[in-house]
Amino acid sequence: MHISQMEQLSKSIAHLPLTIEPRNVGMKLDLDWALALQANTSAIERRCSSFPGRRSIKKEHQAAWLARSVSCIDLTTLSGDDTAGRVRRICAKARQPVRQDILNRIGLPNLKTGAVCVYHDMVGFAVEALKGTDIPVAAVSTGFPAGLSPLRLRIEEIHESVKAGASEIDIVISRRHVLTQNWQALYDEVAAFRAACGDAHVKAILATGELGSLRNVGRASLICMMAGADFIKTSTGKESINATLPVTLVMLRAIRAYYDRTGFRVGYKPAGGISKAKDAIIYLALVKEELGNRWLRPDLFRFGASSLLGDIERQLEHHLTGAYSANHRHPIG
């Protein structure tokens, strides 16, 4: 990659503050606006099915986009057998997500991931392991992944995660509110979570694969933003259907509509099922087309992923050497 290109890329993604935008303060519930949202499913699916074939990024440009993808990853471990040791290894990988020799050769020696995402119980270990960096810790909360525990317990879990040092809280909405069209209940729930988070940023997980329709996805997206969500996120990663391009298109357009109406930029996080470098580029390209370059920074865009990073590292090494290495040479942690 030409030095001038890499210098420009380095300046654009290195050492970015987590938040340089005003936080979304939310707004009064506007049901007329939300219920007016429709989704032409056939048209959405048709555009998304053709999109990957119409967007091809090669050579130096591809390497630059992959480096941008790394900076936008929420490096995640959400397994029942998580241990303090595993979390520390994930945090070490977040500090140096790609082998140092590769980072040096592409001119980004200080590249880091966007955040580390863990279960509530692991927040303290992650905070300690990331001390001295500006990498935030995100905690999944509110009865993740089902979100079916009593409301007071979900709110208390947020308080405890914030107290432990989490600066981002990935909350899960009650899907039943969407499926029964109880939009007031959804708004009140997310607003309560937002209040409990205090200064920590709220990433509202919609679990889009369980919402029944793209129209429901769009309406739920708008209402979560009205309630003060700083990010809207597709999935917990535990559903049978996670992030997809049609869902992404609907959510991005809801974000654009909200920005046009309020002036607040809300972030987007696709999660679950994104494991290949080429898929990361497709998602970034769609975000660029729908929302513009400003949303291609980690304060407004994240991938919820664990295995994605390994494939990106392989692709970056291939860009430099012309050869693909084995997966085991690029461990996540």
Q: Helices in 273-307 by DSSP H: which ranges? A: 277-291
Please tell me the distance from the alpha carbon of residue 134 to that of residue 95, in angstroms, as a whole number: 10
- Helix (H) or strand (E) segment spanning residue 116: strand 115-119
Please tell me the distance from the alpha carbon of residue 284 to that of residue 206, in angstroms, as a whole number: 20
Tokens coding 231: 């990010």
Contacts of 132 (CB under 8 A, 6+ apart): none
Amino acid at 170: D
Please tell me the distance from the alpha carbon of residue 115 to that of residue 98, in angstroms, as a whole number: 15
Tokens coding 77: 């471990």
Beta-bridge partner residues of 201 = 168
Look up tokens 């509530």; give the residue.
120
Contacts of 258 (CB under 8 A, 6+ apart): 222, 225, 226, 264, 266
Residue 74, classed as helix, strand or coil, is: strand
Q: Name the nearest CA neighbour of 102 among 312, 327, 328.
A: 312
Residues annotated as part of the active site: 170, 233, 269
Please tell me the distance from the alpha carbon of residue 169 to that of residue 173, in angstroms, as a whole number: 12
Phi, psi of 119 (to 5 degrees): -70, 155
Tokens coding 275: 């494991």
Tokens coding 48: 């998304």
Query: Computed from CA positions of residues 294, 308, 59, 101, in that sequence, does the dihedral angle turn out positive or negative?
Result: positive
Tokens coding 290: 């729908």
